[in-house]
Chains A and B, each alone.
Chain A
Amino acid sequence: MTEETLSQQPVAMLTQVEKTYRLDSVSVPVIKGIDVMVRSACFTVLMGPSGSGKTTLLNMIGCIDRPDKGEIVVSDCKVGELSDDALSDFRAKNIGFIFQNFNLLPVLSAYENIEYPLLLAGVSAKTRGIRVPKLLEAVGLEDRAKNLPGQLSGGQRQRVAIARALARKPKLVIADEPTANLDSQTGAAILSLMRRMVDRYQISFIFSSHDPEVIKAADDTIFLHDGVIRDVQRKNMGASK
C-alpha cells in the first residue's frame, strides 16, 4: 500500500458520538453528536479552547473512555462492543499514549519504561533487546537508557514517553497536549520528533493543543468548540466539514 492510499484509510471513525458528564445532579454534555474520521499515517491535531471537549474526544478515540451514544471504530474494530479486558488488550496492541505530564513509571528506568508495553504484550527478551535500543536511538536518548525519569529533563521524559508509545508499533498514538508542560523550544523539538515518527513508522498521531503553531506541523486539523466539530482541515484534501 502506498503512502497516499494509506492516508485515505481511516484509523478511527466516530459516528454520532455523544458524551455527557454528571456532576452531582447536573448533566454536562461534553461531546454532542460528533462524526469524524481520523486518517491513517497522518498527523492530526485537535484544536479548541479549554472545555471544548478535546480531551474527552481523545479519551474515547484512545479507548480509555466510552461514549454514551454513537459508535467508535478504531483500526476496523467496533470498540464499544469489547469487554474491559478485551479493550485493555486492544489498547496494548493498537494504541500508544503520550501524556501532558509524561506519566512515566518513576521506578523504572528510561529503557524499562519503553520496554514495559512490550513486556505486557509478552514480546520475547530477544526482540525487546533489539527494539528498545532502536527506539531510544530514534528519540535520541541512547545515553540515558539507565536513567530514572526523575533524572531526566521534561523534554527527555517526553521523548521517553514517545518511545514508549511507539514500542508496540501501534496504529494510533494519542497525545493529550504533549507540549503543554514544556518550554517553547523543547515543545517545538518534541513536535518535530513526533512528526518524524509519523513519517518514519507510518503511524497515525492525534493530539490536542491550544497552540496555533502546531497547525503548521499537522496534516489534518479538527476544530472543536462546545462539544461539536466546527471545522476539519485536511492538507491533502482541502477543507471540509
Chain B
Amino acid sequence: MRRTLNLALRNLLRNRRRSLATLVAMSIGCAAILLFGGFSGNINYEMHTRIVQRGGHLQIQHRDFYLYGSGNPTDYGISDYAKILTDIQQDEVLRKMVLVATPTLQFGGIAGNYAASVSRTVIGTGFVAEDINRMRQWNDFGLRSKAPISTLEGTALDSAVVGVGVARVLQLCDALKVEHCPKPDKKRSGDGEAVPDDIAQLSMQESKAASSASNSSPRRVEVLLVNSRGAPNVTSLEVVRAEDQGVKELDEIALIMHLAKIQQLVYGKSAPKVTSIILQLRHSDQIPAAVARLEPILAKYSSSQPLAVLDFRMLNPFYVQTVQMFDTIFGFVFLLIGAIVLFTVSNTMNTAVVERTVEIGTLRAIGLRRAGIRGLFVTEGALLGVCGAVLGVVLALVISAIINRLDIPWVPPSTVEPVPLTILVAGELKMIVGTTLGLIGIAILSAWWPAYRAAQLKIVEALRHV
C-alpha cells in the first residue's frame, strides 16, 4: 500500500500543472459546496432559533386546537393547566430538560382606534410577559444575532404590543414612533374599516374609564372579543410598542398582551384556561425524550380533555419547507459540482493512462498484476480527491471567516431585523466530513474507469505504444 501510495504521489507530481489544475477545480468546487452549505445552514439555524424563541420546542394543546382552533380558540382551552405545569416542573427528567414552561391563550377579535375611526381583526395572544423574554434568550446554536427584548415585561396589565402592520392600519405609527410607516391619503377614510356603531358605543363606555386613567393616550386601542359564554366583551389597551413579527401575514394581525388580562376578559370569574402550554427545551435534540416523558403526565388529564403535544416543526410547516428547499438546492449544487469533479478527474486520469501506456506495459511485464495497475490509478484519483477536498475545506474556512468578519447586513427568512451575513463552515463537522468524503468518493469513481482500462491493456500492445 505504501509503495502504491508513494508511486501514485510521484506520478501526480510528475505533471504538476495538470495535477494543480485538477486540484484547483476540485477545491473551488468543494469550497462552493461548503459555502452554500454554510449559508443555508445558517438560515436553518436562524429560523430554528427564532421559532423556538417565540413558540418553544413543544406545545401542549387540545387535540383539535391546531386544526380547528383558529375558528374559536377559547373553545379549545386547557383546564387544569396550572397542575400540568406543576407536574412538568416537578418531573425529575423534564425539569432538567425544560428551560421555560409557560401558558398562553389565543383569541380572535377586533381591535379599533376610536380616535381614528379605524379597526381591524386581530389574533391576540396572552403571554406571561417575563417568560417571553426568557424564551428569547435561547441561543443553542451560538448565533451572533440576538432577538429583541419584548417591551411587555414590566408594563401594566392593560398594556399590549402589536404587529407593525396592525399599528399601521390602526394609524398608531406616529404615537408608537414606528419608522417607515406610510400614512393613508387624508381624503380617504383610511386603510382600516370604520368601527361599527355598536362596537363604538361599547368602546366609548370602556374608554371613558380608561381615559380617566391615561388622559386619552394616542396609543390606546379598544379590543372586542367574545368571552367563553359567547357574549361580546370590550377592553381598552395601551399599546406600548409595535414589533415586527417577521412574517407580513402575522404582522398584520398580531396583538400580544398579558395572559392575566386576557383570561380576565375571556373567562371572567370562571376558572381560567389556556390554549397552549409552551415548553422550551435546552436543546432541540431533546424533543423525542421530552415528548416520551410528557405522555404519561398528560394521560392523567386526558379523560376530560384530549391533549396533544406538537413540536415546532409541526407548528411551523414554513420552516420545514424552507429547510427542505435548501436541502434540495444543496443536493443539486453537490450533484452539479460532483459531475464537474467527476469529469475533471476522469479527464486527468484518462490522459495519464494514455501518456503512461508504455509504463503500464513495463509494470505488467515485470510482474505487477492487473489489480496493481488498477490500484495505482485509483490511488492517484483518491489522492487528487483528498488533496482537492482538503484544499477546498481550507478555502471555504478562509472565505467564510472573511465574509463573517465583514458583517454584511441582511434579513433572513422569518427574521425581523437585519443580521450580519454569516456563513457557518467552521464547526459544521458533519457537513465538512460529508462533503469531503463525497468528493473523495467521486474522485475515486472518476479514476476507476481509466484505471480499469489501464489494467485491461494487453502488455505487448502497451509496450508497443508510441
Chain A residues in the interface with B (C-beta under 8 A): 59, 62, 64-65, 84-85, 88-89, 91-93, 96-97, 99, 101, 103, 105-108, 116-117, 119-121, 164
Chain B residues in the interface with A (C-beta under 8 A): 3, 7, 10-11, 13-14, 358-359, 361-372, 458-460, 463
Inter-chain contact A64/B368, CB cutoff 8 Å = no
**CB < 8 Å neighbour of A164 from B364, B366, B371, B372:** B366
A161: nearest chain-B partner, CB-CB: B362
A162: shortest Cβ distance to chain B, in Å?
13
CA distance A59 to B177 in the complex (A): 95
Inter-chain contact B362/A64, CB cutoff 8 Å = no
Residues of B within 8 A of A62 (CB): 365
Inter-chain contact B11/A91, CB cutoff 8 Å = no
Inter-chain contact B366/A91, CB cutoff 8 Å = yes
Report if A120-B366 is in contact (Cβ < 8 Å); known contacts: A65-B459, A101-B358, A103-B463.
yes
Give the 9 A-B CB pairs with smallest separation, nearest first.
A92-B367, A107-B10, A64-B459, A103-B362, A88-B369, A65-B460, A91-B367, A97-B365, A59-B460
Inter-chain contact A99/B367, CB cutoff 8 Å = no
A125: shortest Cβ distance to chain B, in Å?
11
Inter-chain contact A116/B460, CB cutoff 8 Å = no
Residues of B within 8 A of A107 (CB): 7, 10-11, 13-14
Residues of B within 8 A of A59 (CB): 459-460
B461: nearest chain-A partner, CB-CB: A65
**CB < 8 Å neighbour of A119 from B3, B13, B361:** B3
**CB < 8 Å neighbour of A85 from B365, B369, B459, B460:** B369
Residues of A within 8 A of B11 (CB): 107
Residues of B within 8 A of A119 (CB): 3
Inter-chain contact B359/A103, CB cutoff 8 Å = yes
A115: nearest chain-B partner, CB-CB: B3
Residues of A within 8 A of B358 (CB): 101, 103
| Most chain A beta carbons < 10 A, residue from B363, B367, B459 | B367
A168: shortest Cβ distance to chain B, in Å?
8
CA distance A108 to B9 in the complex (A): 11
Inter-chain contact B367/A105, CB cutoff 8 Å = no
Residues of B within 8 A of A103 (CB): 358-359, 361-362, 463
A46: shortest Cβ distance to chain B, in Å?
16
Report if A120-B7 is in contact (Cβ < 8 Å); known contacts: A101-B358, A106-B14.
no
Inter-chain contact B366/A92, CB cutoff 8 Å = yes
Inter-chain contact A84/B367, CB cutoff 8 Å = no
| Most chain B beta carbons < 10 A, residue from A65, A93, A105, A108 | A105
Report if A120-B459 is in contact (Cβ < 8 Å); known contacts: A101-B358, A106-B14, A108-B10.
no
A85: shortest Cβ distance to chain B, in Å?
5
- 19 contacts across the A-B interface (CB closer than 8 A): A64-B361, A64-B365, A64-B460, A65-B459, A85-B370, A85-B371, A88-B364, A88-B368, A88-B369, A88-B370, A89-B367, A92-B366, A96-B366, A97-B365, A99-B362, A103-B359, A103-B362, A120-B366, A120-B367
CA distance A105 to B369 in the complex (A): 16
Residues of B within 8 A of A96 (CB): 366
A72: shortest Cβ distance to chain B, in Å?
15
Inter-chain contact A91/B370, CB cutoff 8 Å = no
B1: shortest Cβ distance to chain A, in Å?
11
A102: shortest Cβ distance to chain B, in Å?
9
B370: nearest chain-A partner, CB-CB: A84
CA distance A103 to B372 in the complex (A): 18
B15: shortest Cβ distance to chain A, in Å?
10
Residues of A within 8 A of B363 (CB): 105
Inter-chain contact B367/A121, CB cutoff 8 Å = yes
Inter-chain contact A99/B366, CB cutoff 8 Å = no
CA distance A108 to B369 in the complex (A): 19
A120: nearest chain-B partner, CB-CB: B367
CA distance A120 to B367 in the complex (A): 7
A154: shortest Cβ distance to chain B, in Å?
16
Inter-chain contact B370/A97, CB cutoff 8 Å = no
CA distance A60 to B13 in the complex (A): 35
Report if A117-B367 is in contact (Cβ < 8 Å); known contacts: A65-B459, A103-B359, A105-B362.
yes
A161: shortest Cβ distance to chain B, in Å?
10
CA distance A201 to B337 in the complex (A): 57
A121: nearest chain-B partner, CB-CB: B367
Residues of A within 8 A of B365 (CB): 62, 64, 91, 97
CA distance A178 to B246 in the complex (A): 82
Inter-chain contact A105/B459, CB cutoff 8 Å = no
CA distance A64 to B461 in the complex (A): 10
B368: nearest chain-A partner, CB-CB: A120
CA distance A120 to B362 in the complex (A): 13
Residues of B within 8 A of A164 (CB): 366
CA distance A117 to B364 in the complex (A): 11
A92: nearest chain-B partner, CB-CB: B367
B353: shortest Cβ distance to chain A, in Å?
15
A103: nearest chain-B partner, CB-CB: B362
CA distance A103 to B363 in the complex (A): 9
B178: shortest Cβ distance to chain A, in Å?
72
Residues of A within 8 A of B463 (CB): 64, 99, 103
Residues of A within 8 A of B369 (CB): 84-85, 88-89
| Most chain A beta carbons < 10 A, residue from B10, B359, B364, B460 | B460
CA distance A164 to B366 in the complex (A): 9
B238: shortest Cβ distance to chain A, in Å?
83
A233: shortest Cβ distance to chain B, in Å?
27
A58: nearest chain-B partner, CB-CB: B460
